Structures are given as C-alpha cells and as structure tokens.
A = this chain, B = another copy of it.
Amino acid sequence: MANKRVMIVGGVAGGATCAARLRRMDENAEIIVLDRGPYVSFANCGLPYYVGNVIREESNLLLATPALFRDRFNIEVRTQNEVLAIDRAASSLSVRDLLTGRTYTESYDALVLSPGAAPICPPWPGIDLPGIFTLRTVPDSREIRNWIEEKKPRTAVVVGGGFIGLEMAENLAHREIAVTIVEMANQVMPPLDSEMAEYAKQQLESHGVALALGDAVAEFAHGAGNHIQVRTKSGSAYEADLVVLAIGVRPETNLARQAGLEIGERGGIRVDNQMRTSDPRVWAVGDAVEVRNRVTGQWELTPLAGPANRQGRIAADVICGRDAHFDGVLGTAVCGFFDFTVALTGATEKALRRAKMDDFQCIYLHPGHHVGYYPGAQPIHLKLIFRKSDGLVLGAQAAGAEGAERRIDIIANAIQMKATVFDLEEAELCYAPQYGAAKDPVNMAGMIAANMLRGDAEFAPWEEIQSSNEFLLDVREPAEFEAGSIPGSVNIPLGQLRARLGELPRSKEIWINCGVGQRAYYACRILVQNGLSARNLSGGYATYRVLHP
C-alpha cells in the first residue's frame, strides 16, 4: 500500500498540532503543511504582549520552525505558499508559491483545512489610513511595534472591547499610550453577562482606559496634527495616533466555499464530530469551523487555542483510522489586564436565553480568594448558573485580582463531568490560609445553590427589584446600610432580627439583602421558620451595585 499523502492548509495551532500528531500515528505518511504566511506554529495569543513589549523578542513567538518540523517530525512545511483552490473531484490542490509566483498542483489522500479566522475589517471610510492596524500575525504585531517606536503615539483607539481589545488596551497602556476603547455593545467583553463585565469595566477605568460603550465607528479621517480622527455613530470624535481594530474575527472559509463544502449557519465550516467536512476526505479544524457548545448544543464559532489543538489531534487520529471524537466546547476562556482576571466557562445567562433554555437559576457570590484572616485576601466575584430542575452545573463567570481562573477551571471540569451543584458542595479542594478556605468559593457556590434546590432558601428575582411591591429588608449593620443601600429597603441588623420580627409584614414577601448574601441567608432561615415568606437577593448589595452601576 502506498504511503498516505496528507496536505494541511494552515500551520498554526490546529494545523501544526494535526501535522505532528499525524507523524506520531503514522511514521510513513507524507505530510505537507502549506501556509501563505511567513511563519508556522507561532504564538498568536502572545501577539498583544509582543506589542506591549512584555514579550521582548519576536523569536519567542515562533514556537517551531520549518527546520524543526523537518528534523523532528519529517514534515515538509512550505511557508508563503498559498492554496488557491481545492479540486475535490481530482483530490488535488492548486498552490501558488508567493515568492516565485509559480503555481503548481498537489494531490492528497486526506486534506486538512486549518485556515483560521481573519480580523473583521469593515469597509469604513478611511480604514486604510496609516496608523490603523489589525492584529493577527507576527508581521502585524511587528508593524504596530514599529509604529509605536517611530511615531511615539500618545493616544490610541482600540475598536472592540472583547478579549483581544482589552489585552491590546493593557499592552498599549504599558507603552504609555492613553487608550480609548470604542465598543458597539453596552458592555466590554461581550461574551460575558453584562453585570459580570462591569467588573472589567471598573478595572479598566481605574487604570485610565476610557470607554465609549454602545457606540460604533462611523469613519476615520485625518485629524489635527497628523492624528487620526475616529468618528462614531453617536457623533463623538476621538483623536488618536494609533488605531487597533479588534472587533472580532471571521472564519476563513473562502477555500471551503469555493470547493462547495458545507458552511454552517454561523458562517464556519461545518464538520461532524470527527472533524470531517461534508467531503469525507477533507477535514477542518480550528477557528474556521463551527463547533457545538456542550451546554446549549448550539453551533457556535469559538476561536480558542485549546479546542483548536484538540481538534487537530482528533483529525489526525481519524485520518489514521482511529475512532476519536470531538465532544464540543465549553467556551472556557480567560482574559487578564491590569493585574485583574475575568474568566468564564460553559453557558452564560444570555447564551441560555438565546438557546431558549429557561430551566436555570443564577447565583452570585463574592468570597475572598483565600481566608480573610490571612493578609491580602481579594474578592472573587462569581456567578454560577445551574439547571433549576436538577442542579446540573451549566456555567460560571468569575472576576477578581487572584484565583478567578482557578475556580473557573474547577467548574469547567465539573461541567465536563456533568457535575451538579451538590457535587460542588462536596468538592475537596486545596486549603491552607494563603490558598483558599475550608469552604472554598467553589464549595460556597455549590452550597448556596444546593440550599435553594433543597428548598432552604429561595431567591428573589434581581430584575424585578425596582418594580416590585415586596418588602425589602437589609440585614447589615447600620454603618454599612448608611454607606449605601437598595432604595426603599428597611434596615434591621441580623443580630436584632429575632427580637424585631413584629416589624415585618405577613402580607408581603420579604426580599432580603446583606453585603454579599451570607447574612441574608441566615435571616431568610429565621423568617421562614417563623412563618414569614422570605427570599434572598443573591450576592447582596455587592451584586446590586454591578446590576445598577
């Protein structure tokens, strides 16, 4: 039998992983990686940090060279070779060598598409002005670095407040550039629920990043003194010496579309759970494909490195005759800026609503990342979402200076393993004073949810707080109450509650808040056992403040 001939289009993340895995599975296969760019296997997640000079050497971004692929894996990598078309009937590719201009044909037994996704670059007037950049490749980041070094920009506009936009904002701030973020949504980090994004917003603003939310770029123009003027739909204008477009990415599907491969409803290449496209000899992996969300079951575009790598391995295994499967994504992601971390996994509340899954409950909590008696505890703001009917964990979002990613990782594993909140309650996690608490934030989240599911503490709906006629009770100490409280709430400190039950109405529900939710829970138990009707406001006044910023 002749050796298998595998062509891989795109040599970053999924493509590079697929190539290396293929070699490990089949020493005899002929494996060729084609990439139109000058580099393969570069650290695209590191590009913002190279702009920020946190990563100082461009060579650090190059994880593997064609020479390494050749020597270590016996894989041929052809950079600056662009695939122009796929001839599926002939099982061949038309390729152009970008250096020589020569066009040639390569046949394949198996074809893997790993073309990635390209930054969205709308046809706004003035978008070609010098000083306006996108960030996808090593040369892109080099150009921005060069611009910074040559032009010494003092102001920048980052268009887009998603993960890359925020990383860019921080890295430009490292270069002592004043940054404004223009974001169409009314929040930064659009994948997050808006109240959780509020923590990111506060952190950005406290570090001097200006935010123009709910506004969109209309056009770019020459401004005063060589600046770029960024004009928005709301009529605002921002002068900038540098503009970075970080609006998002769009899967590179041109080749796949031209070849007649199925494209999904979200605009990505449609694959089965073995990463096979609608052509059984063509696989696709990485940012260009649509994947199923494990929680909602919806198709989505999830441009993340972890799933891309996993998909590359699975495509390689399947090509080599193994029975491997990709089981979808949780969407676990993390973003860090200004010593602050925001992370999420599983479904958000908005994703569940989009998927019309309404059997869920959200809770909020604000525990320290370690015990309070050890110095330096930082709050973790945590939102846990679980299925109301059985407690299945559906998603979590966390924000904080320390330990947010650790709790999201634990919950990501829990969701993968189909854990319930009762399992989180029992989780046995690392505790020493500098690391956590005997009741870790993950345990606390599980307990709060489990208390509700067992009927011990019901939650009042935060979204009705301003329109409701129920009785609002605040059980904090008077000094806390006076420093800020929910309008219309009445203060009876927890310690006085048993003696003052007579002050509470029996004709209304009593909606209870405290600082972060713990005392309200205690109060709720007292009231309910005394025959009153009571519910907690999850996460207390700390939650109120991000819901009503």
* Chain B minimum-CB-distance residue to A414: B413
* Chain B minimum-CB-distance residue to A20: B522
Q: Contact: A432 with B72, CB < 8 Å?
A: no
Which of A32-40, A89-97, A299-307 interfaces with chain B? A299-307
Which residues of B are found within 8 Å of A410, using beta-carbon distances? 409-410, 413
Q: Contact: A334 with B27, CB < 8 Å?
A: no
Cα distance A530–B27 in the bound complex, in angstroms: 8
Q: Contact: B529 with A334, CB < 8 Å?
A: no
Contact with B along A390-410 (1 / 0, CB 8 A): 000000000000000110111
Cα distance A336–B456 in the bound complex, in angstroms: 37
Q: Contact: A334 with B435, CB < 8 Å?
A: yes
In A23-77, the 8 Å CB interface with B consists of 23-28, 43, 45-46, 49, 54-56, 60-61, 63, 71-74
Q: Contact: B71 with A495, CB < 8 Å?
A: yes
Which residues of B are found within 8 Å of A529, using beta-carbon distances? 26-28
Given known pairs A27-B526, A374-B54, A495-B71, the reply for A309 and B438 (CB within 8 Å) is yes
Flag whether A433 is at the interface (Cβ < 8 A): yes
Q: Contact: B373 with A428, CB < 8 Å?
A: no
Flag whether A224 is at the interface (Cβ < 8 A): no
Cα distance A437–B378 in the bound complex, in angstroms: 25
Q: Contact: A432 with B45, CB < 8 Å?
A: yes
Q: Contact: A416 with B428, CB < 8 Å?
A: yes
* Chain B minimum-CB-distance residue to A317: B454
Contact with B along A456-477 (1 / 0, CB 8 A): 1000000000000000000000
Flag whether A417 is at the interface (Cβ < 8 A): yes
Cα distance A144–B498 in the bound complex, in angstroms: 42
Which residues of B are found within 8 Å of A440, using beta-carbon distances? 306
> A409 touches which one: B308, B309, B336, B406 (CB < 8 A)?
B406
Which residues of B are found within 8 Å of A327, using beta-carbon distances? 426
Q: Contact: B409 with A24, CB < 8 Å?
A: no
> A417 touches which one: B74, B305, B417 (CB < 8 A)?
B417
In A335-352, the 8 Å CB interface with B consists of 335-336, 341, 343, 345
* Chain B minimum-CB-distance residue to A328: B428
Cα distance A410–B409 in the bound complex, in angstroms: 7
Cα distance A435–B26 in the bound complex, in angstroms: 33
> A406 touches which one: B307, B373, B406, B434 (CB < 8 A)?
B406
Flag whether A221 is at the interface (Cβ < 8 A): no
Given known pairs A334-B431, A413-B414, the reply for A426 and B310 (CB within 8 Å) is yes
> A45 touches which one: B163, B417, B433 (CB < 8 A)?
B433
Binding site for B on A (CB under 8 A): 13, 23-28, 43, 45-46, 49, 54-56, 60-61, 63, 71-74, 163, 167, 304-310, 327, 329-336, 341, 343, 345, 371, 373-375, 405-406, 408-410, 412-414, 416-419, 423, 426-436, 438-440, 443, 456, 494-495, 498, 519, 521-522, 525-526, 529-530
